[in-house]
Every structure is written in C-alpha cells, then in structure tokens.
A and B are shown apart, each in its own frame.
Chain A
Amino acid sequence: GESVGLHLPTLSVQEGDNSIINCAYSNSASDYFIWYKQESGKGPQFIIDIRSNMDKRQGQRVTVLLNKTVKHLSLQIAATQPGDSAVYFCAENIGGGSTLGRLYFGRGTQLTVWP
C-alpha cells in the first residue's frame, strides 16, 4: 500500500515568502528520498534528493530536511516565485541494496504562488 503521504493537498503562498511542503513516510527501511515538481502538462521534474545518512541537503533556493525519528521529510523553497507554482511530490526508495529502483510516490501538494 501507499507508504508516502503529504500533510496538505494545497498550499498558497505570496511571492517572495518561503514555502514548506511536508511529507510523511512509514517505512523505516527507506534509504533514499526525492522531491519532484510537476507543472501542468509536464512530467515530474527532479528537484532535490537526500539519502538516509543525511539530515539536510541544500540546493538552489531549496532545502530538504529529513527527520528519521518521526519519518518526516520536508521541502523548503526560499523566496517563492510564480514559476514555483506546481504540484510537488515526495518519493521514497526502499533500498538497502535492493536491485529494484522502485519509487513510492505521495499524492502531491499543489503549491500556488500569488503576487
């Protein structure tokens, strides 16, 4: 069954504010997590990833935080822009050396940025 979920289906923020999108997972064996962004009419696009041996990873305007104690993942977007409006998915891989690149996706959060 689905093991990855999101706390909020929608999030609206004002341009320039910071956005935080949350994700919960239930499988302790998950060792790799990815955030994807999907704009209307397009396929999911990789944003940032993090492995379970890390707590935080930063990219350009984005930060992913991983709290393995409570099985929680978050994506922080700094200075949110209208172009950030999209659906954001978290995905987990239950690896541990598995040879299958199976990603479990959450339902997604629709981020809307208004001026």
Chain B
Amino acid sequence: ETGVTQTPRHLVMGMTNKKSLKCEQHLGHNAMYWYKQSAKKPLELMFVYSLEERVENNSVPSRFSPECPNSSHLFLHLHTLQPEDSALYLCASSHGLAGGGEQYFGPGTRLTVT
C-alpha cells in the first residue's frame, strides 16, 4: 500500500453518463496529481493541485473536471466522454512541488467508455 487510494477500481460508462473518480491520500502531502495511462503511451499528466489550488491543466478537454476540496482528497468528474478516453486513470501525491520529488501513486481506476 502506498497510502493513496482510488475508487472505484473499475468503471464502465456510456458516453452520456456522468461519473466521478475519487482519490484520497493518507500521507500528509499537499500536492496531488491526475495522470492518464493509455496502452503503448507514456503516462500523461492531466492536472496538478498544490494546497488545493489547481496549478496546471495540461490541455485536458473540458469533459474532465477536477476538484480538490482539501489536501487529502481529489476528484475527477467525468461527463460525455469518448471511447478514446478509455484508460487507466492514476492519482498521485507528493510532499510539495518544488524541485520535483517522489510521487506516490494510487492503484488507478480502469475506465472503459462504451
């Protein structure tokens, strides 16, 4: 266990559905991240939050909407997704942002869009 949990672990949704992914970290970190991992592609950084403030949105379509209500929780709200959005969505956290540093990953949510 890395101290980062994600729910659900698997999700199947239609293109017209609305769903949310949840991430929780129990490490006392103040930075949290969403990544997308597709087959045969490198991990793609989607969003970065530091102290509950979004500091980076890496050109992610608006059908993905992040929310960080506090430093321990991170959500990714999904609506009107496309089949190409099917992927493993990983959450990570770290002590801070400055100078990089180890990011702790959750197990991911395997999303399938039908």
Contact = CB atoms under 8 A, between A and B. Distances in A.
A113 B108 CA distance: 25
A95 B107 contact: no
Contacts of A89: 42-43
Interface of B: 2, 4, 6, 31, 33, 40-43, 45, 48, 55-56, 90, 92, 94, 96-108
B100 A43 contact: no
A101 B42 contact: no
Given A99-B97, A105-B42, 8 more contacts: A43-B2, A46-B103, A46-B104, A97-B99, A101-B98, A101-B99, A102-B48, A104-B42
Interface in A19-61: 31-32, 34, 36, 41-46, 49
A40 B113 CA distance: 21
Interface SS, A side: loop
Interface in A56-115: 89, 91, 93, 95, 97-108
B54 to A, nearest CB: 12
B107 A41 contact: yes
Nearest to B105: A43
A42 B102 CA distance: 17
Interface of A: 2, 4, 31-32, 34, 36, 41-46, 49, 89, 91, 93, 95, 97-108
5 contacts: A46-B103, A98-B98, A100-B97, A101-B48, A101-B100
Nearest to B99: A95
A105 B96 CA distance: 19
A91 B92 CA distance: 14
B90 A98 contact: no
Contacts of A98: 98-100
B88 to A, nearest CB: 8
Nearest to A9: B40
A89 B103 CA distance: 13
Contacts of A93: 99-101
A53 to B, nearest CB: 12
B91 to A, nearest CB: 8
